[in-house]
Every structure is written in C-alpha cells, then in structure tokens.
Amino acid sequence: DAKTTQPPSMDCAEGRAANLPCNHSTISGNEYVYWYRQIHSQGPQYIIHGLKNNETNEMASLIITEDRKSSTLILPHATLRDTAVYYCIALNSGNTGKLIFGQGTTLQVKP
C-alpha cells in the first residue's frame, strides 16, 4: 500500500472550512484513499473514502486530484468537536482491514 504524507498539525477557526491535505504520490490504480479520525484517544472513526472521483457524505468531502497523487479532506463547517487526529490511508481494496496508520494531522479547531 502506498505511503501517505500529512502535515503534523493544523488550526482552524470554528465555523470555517477545514482543509486537510494528504500526499500519496506513489498510489497505484487500485488503491483507495481512506480518511479516519481519532478524537481524544477514542477508537478511530471512519470518515470517507474514494478512488478517483470526488466524494461527499454527511461528515465531509474528499477531493482527489486528477493524477491521484494527492487529496484534500474538507470539513465544511468545523466545530470544536472536530478537534482530532486525522489519518489519510491509501490501500488496496482487498486490504481494507489492514489499516496502516501514520502520524496523521492533529486538527485543532479554535473558538
């Protein structure tokens, strides 16, 4: 599975959009991009995933560049409860159970 690179930390003002980048320049054609988050040492929580097309659900949007070498997770209206560590993971669809977590991005949402 491809390695991903994320900034270690980011700040965002409450109510504003939080844009979390992820680089996965070695991703292969059958690897998906998954996002999970971990709030204050709780178990990780699935957010969204995608292959090629942009995706949106009730939690977030995922924008994947056309060359698939990078992506951005967008939380449209960040709240204090979105303060968490966000993990971007690239993996083959057959390995979705074998998540490889990097350091992630610590998002601090500030009032």
Partner 1 sequence: NAGVTQTPKFQVLKTGQSMTLQCAQDMNHEYMSWYRQDPGMGLRLIHYSVGAGITDQGEVPNGYNVSRSTTEDFPLRLLSAAPSQTSVYFCASSGLAGTDTQYFGPGTRLTVL
Are residues 20 and 73 in contact, defined by beta-carbon separation less than 8 angstroms?
A: yes
Query: Would you state the structure tokens that stand for residue 73, as one six-digit string?
Result: 């997770």
CB of 39 to partner 1, least distance (A): 11
Separation of alpha carbons 40 and 76, rounded Å: 21
Q: Is 98 in the site for partner 1 (CB under 8 A)?
A: yes
Beta strand 18-23 pairing with 70-75: antiparallel
Residues 38-97 that bind partner 1 (CB under 8 A): 41-46, 49, 87, 93-94, 96-97
DSSP 5: B
Q: Is 9 in the site for partner 1 (CB under 8 A)?
A: no
Q: Is 7 in the site for partner 1 (CB under 8 A)?
A: no
Q: Is 29 in the site for partner 1 (CB under 8 A)?
A: no
Q: Is 3 in the site for partner 1 (CB under 8 A)?
A: no
Which CB, 41 or 53, lies closer to partner 1? 41
Size of the site for partner 1 (CB under 8 A): 22
Separation of alpha carbons 76 and 46, rounded Å: 17
First vs last Cα of the chain: how many Å apart? Answer: 37
**Site of interaction with partner 1 (CB under 8 A):** 32, 34, 36, 41-46, 49, 87, 93-94, 96-104
